[in-house]
Every structure is written in C-alpha cells, then in structure tokens.
Amino acid sequence: MAKGVNKVLLLGNVGKDPEIRSTAGGTIVASFSLATADRQKDQQGNWQDKTEWHNLVAFSRTAEIVRDYVKKGTQLYIEGKIQTRSWDDKESGQKKYKTEILVNELTLLGGAPGGRSEGGSGGYSKSSTASFDQRTPSSQPDYADQGITDDDIPF
C-alpha cells in the first residue's frame, strides 16, 4: 500500500538517442532526455512556446524497450516518479543535485521523422558516443562514476 504519491506524466519528444548502460549486476539502464512543449501567454498576452527538458532513466525491461524502440525525435508518453540524486562534486567540493524521472511505463507515439518504423537505416546510430546532456558538467553523476551497484536499483 502506497504511503504517498509521486507521479509524473510526460508527453513529448526525445532529444537524443538514448544512452544504454549496464550495472555491475547486469541490470540494463537507459538514460535519455525528453522535451515537453508548453504554450503559455506572455506578458503581452501572446502565446509563446516554451520547451521544458527532462532527464529520464529507465531500468530492466523498460530500458530494453527504450533501447529497441526509442531514438532521437520519438514522440513518447511516459509515467514515472521524480527522484533527486545527490553527490559531492570532487572539483568544487559542493554538494550537487540531479533530478530525474524514473520511468515506469511508456507508450510509443511514433511521430518522429524517420521514426520507429525506419528499421535502423543508414546514417543513424544508437550507440551514439556524443555527450548526452551538455547541461551536466564534467562532475556529473554518472552511475558508473558513483560506483553504482545493484543495491541502487530501485526495485
């Protein structure tokens, strides 16, 4: 029986090809960003588009679905929970925080140019080595860097 509620619902487009890793214990981990577009009125009463970026993480079976079906541009509906991880930045000595959405459920909506029906055709690679999230500086909380073990997997 739940004691509280911590639920997030997002519908938007994936910013980059997901990054797939494994923990020492063999659990698959998928990380990716999702953009949600918002239409809101500005001070002048004009409608403005505003994009909010979210950091998402998925484990195990959900991570496999992400690995197999999700890429840059994919339109996605997800349900998850908010989690904030913290760590000590080695450089500055400051405590740092990263808020992520742990994805529990996921519905593919297609919608991407060259979308999921594309079949992995040329000029496209899932094993992108490009840095996934430029917002996070060098001292970012990488699961590996933090010596994440399977104790940290939330189930």
Listed in sequence order, the residues at least 6 apart from 29 whose beta carbon sits closer than 8 Å to its beta carbon are 20, 21, 22, 23, 57, 58, 59, 63, 143
CB under 8 A: which stretch of 14-22, 75-83, 122-130 binds its own copies?
Answer: 75-83
- Torsions phi, psi of 29, nearest 5? -125, 130
Alpha carbons 123 and 44: distance in angstroms, whole number: 44
Are 127 and 82 in contact, with CB atoms under 8 Å apart? no
Binding mask 29-68 for DNA (x = CB under 7 A): ----x-x-x-----------x-x-x---------------
HEC string of 35-66 equals EEEEEEECCCCCEEEEEEEEEEEEEHHHHHHH
Place of tokens 């953009």: 35
CB under 8 A: which stretch of 16-24, 38-46, 119-127 binds its own copies?
Answer: 38-46
Q: Which of 16, 21, 87, 108 binds its own copies (CB under 8 A)?
A: 108
Task: Tell me: does residue 106 bind its own copies (CB under 8 A).
Answer: yes
Q: Which of 72, 103, 143, 148 binds DNA (CB under 7 A)?
A: 72
Listed in sequence order, the residues at least 6 apart from 136 whose beta carbon sits closer than 8 Å to its beta carbon are 98
Task: Tell me: does residue 97 bind DNA (CB under 7 A).
Answer: no
Query: In whole angstroms, how close is the CB of 9 to DNA at the nearest point?
Result: 16
Q: Which residues bind its own copies (CB under 8 A)?
A: 1-12, 35-43, 49, 52-54, 65, 69, 75, 77, 79, 81-84, 86, 92, 94-95, 97-99, 101, 105-111, 135-137, 139, 150-151, 154-155
